[in-house]
Amino acid sequence: MNELIEKIKEANKYYAENGENFVSDKLYHSWLNQLKEKDPTNPLLTSLQPTTKIKGEKIKHSSPMLSLDKVYSIDELKKWMEKVSRKKDEKFILMPKFDGIAGRLENGILSTRGDGDEGENITDKLPIINHVDSDYDGELLIRFSTFVEHFFSGKIKKRDGNLYKNPRNSVAGMLANDDITDTLKERVIDFVSYSEWGKEIESSSDISMIIDNFKKEISDYPFDGFVVKLKDEEYGKSLGFTSHHWKHSLALKNDNESRTSVLRDVEFSVAKEYIGMVGIIDPVDFNGANIKRVSLHNLDIVKDFDLRIGDNVVIQRSGDVIPTLVSTTVGENREKIELENCPCCGTKVVIDGPFYKCPDELCSAKIINKIVYCLKTMKIKGISEKTIEKLYLNKQITNFTDLFKLTENDLLNVDGYKEKSAKNFIDALENSKKRDVSHSQLFACLNISGIGESLYKKIFNQVDPTDFSRLLETGDSKEIEKIENLGPERVELLIKNFPERKNILSTLMEIYGDSIKKIDDNPNLKTVCLSGKFPKNKKEYKEYFLEKGYEMVDKVNKDLDLLVIPEGVTSSGKITKAKKLGIEISVFKESDK
C-alpha cells in the first residue's frame, strides 16, 4: 500500500508543478479507488485533486469551491442519474467540463479554486483575461485557435524560452508569471462562466448523441469531459456534499489514456507563411479510431523533446479530437528531423523562429494557400482548395483578384467542372459583392505576414483606411508606430510589402465598390452581445445583426445597447450584469431571423 500512496503523491506533485497529468485520468482514479478499498480514511481521498501551483496572495472563498466525483462511462452516469432521481422524468443539466484553471470572480477580486477553501489572488492578471464584470464562478481557458496563433507560433513563450505544451499548461504558466501583464498587451485567456453552458436532459435521453453534438459546439475550447447536475438547485443542495465533492453533480470524464508508438517519419506541408510538420507513427487505436499521425507543429517541439525519427512516443487524444505528443523516450536507429528544401518548389528553406520557411514568394503552395485565405476572409463559400490549385497550375490565375476575371467557359476547362458547377463558382463570387465588406477584410487580403483582419480592425478604429494607405506609401514609420498594436517589426513589414501589393487593394476596391462599408468603426451602429447557446455558431448571426444596425461585441459593459439571449435561458453572468446596468434584454427566436 505504501507504493500505491507514493505513486499518488508523485502524480499529485507532478500535476501541481507542471500543470500536466503524470498518468492518464483513468489510471490515476483507479489508484484512488484501490486506496479507498484498502484505507477508506486515508487523507489523500478527502483532499481535492491537486491543482496547479500559482503564486499569489491567499483568498478565503465565501463558500467552498468543491471538486466533482467522476465516472468514465455513460452506463455509470445513467446509474447515478437514476439513483438521485425522485421521479422518472427528473431533469438534469449537461455542461462541458472545461480543462482549464477553475476560478471565482467576487467583489472585483479574481482567485483560483486552490484547495477549495482558499485560492490564490490573480486579480492583477485581469488585463490579459476576457471576463464579465460581475460575480461568477468559471474556468480560465485558452482556445485552441488562440493557442496555435500565439503559443505554437512562438509569439508567447515560457520565461525560460521554451514553448508551452498545451492550453492548460499555458494558462497556469501565465497566471504564475508576475511580469506577464508588462510584456503581453492582449487578452488571450477567457474566463468562461459555468452558467452560460448547459443542455437539459433526462436519464432516458440519448446522452451519447447529445454529447457528440455538444463536442462540435465547444471544439475550440479544451475540455476533458462533461458535467451532469440536477436542474432543481434546491433539491440538489439538499443532497449535501462530502469534503471532496458535491452530491448534486457528477463528472463524465473522457477516457484519455495515453498510447505508445514509434515515430517513423515526418511529413512537411507548405502553408501560406510557414512549413507545417506532422509525425507519422505506427497505428494505435483510440476507442475505435485508428491514429497514424500526430501534429508536431514546429521546431520547438522537436527541440523540447529532443525528438528523432525512430523514437518511442507517447500520444494522447485530448477530448477525442486532437492527437498530441505527451512524452518521448530514445528509440533505436534514430534519425535527425531536418528539412533542406521546400517540399513544393525545391528552394532551400530557412529557419524563421520556430518554423521552417520557404523564402520563395513564387512558391505555388504558398500562393495557393494565400488565395484560399482570401476566400475565407471574404466569406466566399463553395470554392475548394483543390479547385484553386487546378486553376493556378493551369495558369488561369496568379492571385485572388484573378478569380473575378474568370467566366463560366474558362471554368469548363478545369478538370471536374461542368455547367452547373461553373455557374455555382461564378455565383459564389458575385454574391460576395452583394454583402457589406470592410476595409479590414480587403487589407487582410494583401497577405502581409502576421497582420490579419482582426489587427486591421483595431487600426481602422484609430485611423481612416485612406490615410493609413498614404502613410504606408510614404513609408512614414514614426507616424505609423503611433498607432496602437503596431510595433516596429509589423511596421517594417507593412512598409516593405504594401507598395508592391497596393495594386491588389486597388483592384479589390473596384470589385467591391459600393459594398465597402466602414463597418469596423461605424459610429451609427449600436452594439449587441449574445449570451447563451444558440442553434448556430454565434459568428453566423453577425450579418443578421449588421442588417438590423447592430455590431456584435463580446462583453457586457455600460456602452452595450442590447443583450440577446436564446429561448429557455434565464440566468448567466452576462444577464446579471445587464440587469444591473439597465441594459435592454431581448429573447431571440430562430423563427424571427
User: Would you say residue 248 has pLDDT above 60?
Assistant: yes
pLDDT number for residue 586: 86
Range with lowest mean pLDDT among 37-51, 229-243, 411-425, 572-586: 37-51
H helix or E strand, kind and range, residue 490? helix 488-512
Instruction: Please give the CATH superfamily to which domain 259-357 belongs.
Output: Nucleic acid-binding proteins (2.40.50.140)
Topology of domain 437-517, CATH: DNA polymerase; domain 1 (1.10.150)
Mean of the per-residue pLDDT values of the chain: 82
Closest-CA residue to 550 (of 525, 572, 533) = 525
Nearest to 130 by CA among 169, 97, 171: 171
* Superfamily of chain region 364-433: 5' to 3' exonuclease, C-terminal subdomain (1.10.150.20)
Residue type, 255: D
Q: Say whether pLDDT at 506 is over 50.
A: yes
Residue 132 near residue 106 (C-beta atoms within 8 A):
no
Report the length, in residues, of the chain: 593
Higher pLDDT, 468 or 51: 468
CB contact burial 250-275 (16+ within 10 A = b; e otherwise): bbbbbebebbebebeebebebbbbbb
Could you tell me the three cell numbers for 416? 471536374
Name the grid cell of 6.
Answer: 507514493
Q: Reduced to 3 states, what is the DSSP secondary structure of residue 527?
A: strand
**Helix (H) or strand (E) segment spanning residue 511:** helix 488-512
Whole-number pLDDT of residue 523 = 46
pLDDT tier at 498 (50, 70, 90 boundaries)? very high
User: Is pLDDT at 554 greater than 90 in this prediction?
Assistant: no
Of all helices (H) and strands (E), which one includes residue 387? helix 385-393
Res 26: pLDDT: 57
* 74 vs 412, residue with greater confidence: 412
The distance from CA 584 to its chain's CA centroid, rounded to whole angstroms, is 30
The candidate with the shortest Cα–Cα distance to 18, out of 167, 177, 172, 243, is 172
What pLDDT digit, counting tens, does each position of 126-157 carry?
Answer: 888 888 878 888 899 888 878 777 776 667 77
Q: 312-351, pLDDT tens digit by residue?
A: 998 876 544 557 787 788 888 899 999 999 999 999 999 9
d(CA 246, CA 8): 22
Residue 405 has a pLDDT of 95
- Look up the CATH architecture of domain 526-592: 3-Layer(aba) Sandwich (3.40)
| Residue, of 586 and 546, whose pLDDT is higher | 586
> What DSSP letter does each residue of 281-323 carry, written as one string?
EEEEEETTEEEEEEE--SHHHHHHHT-EET-EEEEEEETTTEE
pTM of the predicted model over 0.75: no
* pLDDT band at 401; cut points 50, 70, 90: very high
Instruction: Express as a percent the part of the chain with pLDDT over 90.
Output: 27
Q: Which of 84, 99, 7 is nearest to 51 (CA)?
A: 99
Residue 490 has φ and ψ, to the nearest 5°, of: -70, -40
Secondary structure E strands in 172-307: 189-193, 199-201, 223-230, 249-253, 259-270, 275-286, 289-295
Residue 244 pLDDT exceeds 70: no
Q: Is the CATH number 3.30.470.30 carried by domain 48-253?
A: yes
CB of 564 closer than 8 Å to CB of 575: no
Q: Is the pLDDT of residue 48 over 60?
A: no
Where exactly are the structural domains of the chain?
1-46, 48-253, 259-357, 364-433, 437-517, 526-592
Region of poorest pLDDT, from 6-10, 83-87, 338-342, 428-432? 6-10
- Single out the residue of 259, 305, 301 nearest to residue 283, CA to CA: 259
Q: How far apart are CA 70 and CA 135, in angstroms?
A: 27
Least confident of 43-57, 85-99, 147-161: 43-57
Do the domains spanning 364-433 and 437-517 agree at the CATH topology level? yes
Model pLDDT for residues 92-130, shown as the tens digit of each residue: 999 988 888 889 988 888 888 887 778 888 888 888 888
Nearest to 64 by CA among 246, 238, 196: 246
Whole-number percent of the chain with pLDDT over 70: 83
> Rounded to an integer, what distance in angstroms lies between the CA atom of residue 267 and that of residue 282?
14
The whole-number pLDDT of residue 562 equals 87
